[in-house]
Homo-oligomer: A and B are copies of this chain.
Amino acid sequence: MRGAVAKAGVLTEALPYIRTYRGRIVVVKVGGEALDDPHLASIVAEDLALMALVGIELVVVHGGGPQVSLAMTQAGVQPSFVDGLRVTDAATMDIVQRVLVGSINPGLVARLNDAGLSAVGLSGVDGGLLEVEPATSGAGHDLGFVGEVSAVDTRLVSTLLADGRTPVVASVAPDVDGVAHNVNADSAAGTIAAALKAAKLVYLTNVEGLYSDFGDRDSLVSEVKLGELEAMLPSLSAGMHPKATSAVRALRAGVGKAHILDGRVEHALLVEVFTDEGIGTQVLLDHSSHPNGGRSSC
């Protein structure tokens, strides 16, 4: 019974977190790295499944950088980046969409279904979820078929959540003429979380979290206020910048909290969501509010 008692302890430790998040929306952005390793991918799927099964209204958004780069190399196309954004000509865009929508997305949906969910793969075109405008780099370079989200319609996502499904979104979306564009997945996740007024937005990345000094691994920040993060934006690394920017926008738009976690650590999601252990970096509102449901004071 020794092990049994310890197990019960872990489960009861999870109780207040389940109480807080069940029935509320959590958006998780899963990076391509976490999905590239089958073992890690299967653990991530298990963690996401547990979140959904305890009643969290889960929305998953994924990218697929490494897989796209591999497919480009196989097709003899050389990836090129400007300001951390992939320059995307028509041939590249074709590869991007085939890999993200036609390979990574159904693969992740299959894993989530195996873990007990009823997942549904989407990209920006489905139900008009996302619409983009052409993006340009900071320096004004034309990036080709790279889009910035200009409109979002989450009604299909809400219908699927209400039907007990788990939407899994690939970060590709059409412009107003229906032409597919590549969208930064961090940014797509933040936009969707904002439109849904999610309770929490989690980035599963390939770093430990946010460093106050990018060169110094001891400078990992475990908690940062929204205002502080905004002040840090100019000094952030190219990889962290879109996450931080979209986290700031999401919290400004009503999302409750954001987390940046190391997706290479097994079960990082579960530990962050359901235990008292603090990992990665947590971004909080400057001031928190206390809604009281249907109860009115006298």
Contact = CB atoms under 8 A, between A and B. Distances in A.
B113 A119 contact: no
Interface in A1-22: 1, 3-16, 18-19, 22
Nearest to A16: B116
Interface stretch (A98-106, A219-227, A234-242): A98-106
Contacts of A266: 5, 8
Nearest to A95: B98
A46 B279 contact: no
- The 8 A-B pairs at the shortest CB distance, nearest first, are namely A102-B102, A8-B267, A98-B98, A98-B102, A110-B178, A19-B116, A153-B295, A10-B10
A78 interface: no
Contact of A113 (B120, B125, B277): B125
Interface string A33-58: 00000000000001101100111000
Given A127-B118, A153-B296, A12 B94 contact: no
A172 B106 CA distance: 10
Interface of A: 1, 3-16, 18-19, 22, 46-47, 49-50, 53-55, 74-75, 94, 97-103, 105-107, 109-111, 113-116, 118-123, 125-128, 131, 149-156, 159-160, 163, 165, 172, 174, 177-180, 191, 195, 265-267, 270-271, 274-275, 277, 279, 292-298
A294 B126 contact: no
Given A19-B53, A110-B174, A120-B127, A149 B298 contact: yes
A53 to B, nearest CB: 5
Contacts of A151: 292, 295-298
Contacts of A110: 125, 174, 178-180
Contacts of A22: 53-55
Secondary structure class of chain A's binding surface, majority of residues: helix
Number of identical monomers bound together in the oligomeric complex: 6
19 contacts: A1-B271, A4-B275, A4-B279, A5-B266, A6-B10, A10-B10, A12-B46, A12-B50, A15-B115, A53-B54, A55-B55, A97-B103, A101-B101, A101-B106, A102-B103, A106-B126, A114-B177, A118-B156, A195-B296
A295 B267 CA distance: 31
A4 B121 contact: no
- Which residue, of A105, A106, A116, A153, has the highest number of chain B Cβ atoms within 10 A? A106
Contact of A7 (B100, B105, B271): B271
Nearest to A53: B18
Contacts of A106: 97, 101, 123, 125-126, 172, 180
Given A3-B277, A150-B298, A156-B165, 13 more contacts: A1-B277, A4-B279, A6-B6, A7-B275, A15-B116, A19-B53, A98-B102, A102-B105, A113-B128, A114-B177, A121-B121, A121-B123, A191-B298
